Amino acid sequence: MDPADLRVAELAAVQRGVVSLAQLAACGIGRGGVRWRVANGRLHRLHRGVYAVGHSSLPPLGLEQAALLAVGARGVLSHRSAAAFWNLLGSPDGPVDVTVPGARRRSRDGVALHGSTLSGRDVARAGGLPVTQPARTLVDIAGVVDDRGLERAVDEAGVRRLASLAEIGVALDRAGAVAGTRRLRELLDRLDGPRLTRSEAEARLLALLRRSRLPLPSTNVRVGRYEVDMLWSSHRLAVEVDGFAFHGTRAAFERDRVRDADLQALGLRVIRVTWRQIVEEPEATVARLAGMLAASSQEIARGTA
């Protein structure tokens, strides 16, 4: 292999298969050499001045690496692309989002360019890429996703312990007036309102059931190796009350899923009710439980449960 091509291959190996025109020149390949290699399939143009080496099938984050090379050293992965990087949203179908301080917002060559001022506290280096911190990422996507998507992303950040509500609020303050600020503040206010402990949430839910004249469940019942919060044994229906907005850790979240699956294997239907549903959506919560109880009664009457 030509020494210049060997240097390019070594560079591409640590840059997810992509190199810039300036890097090719530093390896000893001029513009004529680049054109020759493109014609012969050794290089594949991805953006103006950015090429995939050898083939155009890139590994994970290869497109993001290429977009950052295309915009220069000050570019930072942001918005939907950063949210996908942190696993707060699914991978976007559109261009790669990159923030460059002072840049005009526009899309070109598969890159959505955003102009914004980022504090050093807003930027991380992860996986070898500059990317907005999770809290700042949530600020940025507040202006481009719907309410449900934003709440899910904030919830996921809490579950994965990537950003607390307080950290998101600080990032909002640093960002100033950007799109979606009001929506995100309103969401934080709802999530950061008065919380119920698990026992308080259970007591309030029982009170709702009494007022609705629904059959009352047994509480704190042992089922297999678990203790369930509420159980209608004749209906084979269990309710688990989550007393907090977020699970403390991803491990706790996954343990809850295993617990629910084990209870279902014992023949129970499991419903999870959060403190926020009890406080803010009491009628809908009771209606949901009433519907499940009615459906269970019908199945039992038909002998299918």
Residues constituting the chain: 305
**Cα 116 to the chain's mean position, in Å?**
22
Q: What is the pLDDT of residue 246?
A: 44
Lookup result for tokens 């999870």: 272
Q: What is the pLDDT of residue 28?
A: 92
- Which tokens is 29 given? 């390949």
Whether the Cβ atoms of residue 214 and residue 293 lie closer than 8 Å to each other: yes
- Which tokens is 177 given? 């007036």
- Which tokens is 71 given? 């915009």
Q: What is the pLDDT of residue 305?
A: 47
Burial 51-90 (b: 16+ CB within 10 A, else e): bbbeeeebeebbbbbbbbbbbeeebbbbbbbbbbbbebbe
- What is the largest distance, in Å, between two alpha-carbon atoms of the chain? 83
Per-residue pLDDT of the chain (305 residues; tens, 9 = 90+): 688 889 999 998 999 999 999 999 999 999 999 999 999 999 999 998 899 998 888 899 999 999 999 988 889 999 999 999 999 988 888 899 999 987 665 667 789 888 888 888 999 999 999 999 999 999 999 988 888 888 888 888 887 789 888 899 999 988 877 777 888 988 888 776 655 666 778 888 999 999 999 999 999 889 988 889 999 999 999 998 875 544 444 556 677 788 889 999 998 999 998 877 888 889 999 999 999 999 888 877 776 54
Look up the pTM and report it: 0.66
Q: What is the pLDDT of residue 1?
A: 65
Q: Could you tell me the fold of the domain covering 198-302?
A: Endonuclease; Chain A (3.40.960)
* Long-range interactions of 201-205: CB distance < 8 A, separation 24+: 201/241, 201/242, 201/243, 201/273, 201/274, 201/275, 201/278, 202/229, 202/230, 202/241, 204/278, 204/279, 205/230, 205/239, 205/241, 205/273, 205/278, 205/285
Q: How many Å apart are CA 285 and CA 208, to the nearest integer?
A: 9
**Cα 243 to the chain's mean position, in Å?**
22
Please report, for residues 154, 164, 175, 251, the alpha-carbon distance to residue 142 in angstroms, rounded to integers and kept in the order given: 10, 16, 12, 27
Q: Name the strand (E) or helix (H) holding 119.
A: none
Q: How many Å apart are CA 138 and CA 165, to the nearest integer?
A: 11
CATH 3.40.960.10 intervals, the chain: 198-302
| Residues contacting 147, CB < 8 A, separation 6+ | 183, 187
Burial 146-156 (b: 16+ CB within 10 A, else e): eeebbbebbbb
